[in-house]
Amino acid sequence: MHRRASSTGRLHFVYRAGQALYDICGRKEHYPSHRKCAYDEIRSLGLSNSVPEKIAKLLLHWSEHPLNLPKKKPNEIAIRVTLTQEEIAQFAGTSRETVSRVLSEFKRKGWLNIRGATWCITNKPALEKLVTT
Residues 31-47 pLDDT 10s:
555 555 555 555 554 45
Are 124 and 113 within 8 A, CB to CB?
A: no
**Band of pLDDT at residue 22, cut at 50, 70 and 90:** low
User: Would you say the pTM of this structure is higher than 0.85?
Assistant: no
Indicate the residue type of 90. Answer: Q
Strand ranges in 67-130 using DSSP code E only, listed in sequence order? 77-80, 112-115, 118-121
Query: In this structure, what DSSP letter does residue 124 have?
Result: H
The pLDDT of residue 36:
56
Question: Nearest Cα to 91, choosing from 29, 24, 26, 31?
Answer: 24
**Nearest-angstrom CA–CA distance, 107 and 122:** 9
Q: Compare 83 and 34 and report the one with higher pLDDT.
A: 83
**Nearest-angstrom CA–CA distance, 13 and 11:** 5
Distance of CA 64 to the CA centre of its chain: 12
**Nearest-angstrom CA–CA distance, 56 and 16:** 20
Written out in words, the top-level CATH class of the domain with range 7-132 is: mainly alpha
Is pLDDT of 67 > 70?
yes
Average pLDDT on 104-120 reads 95
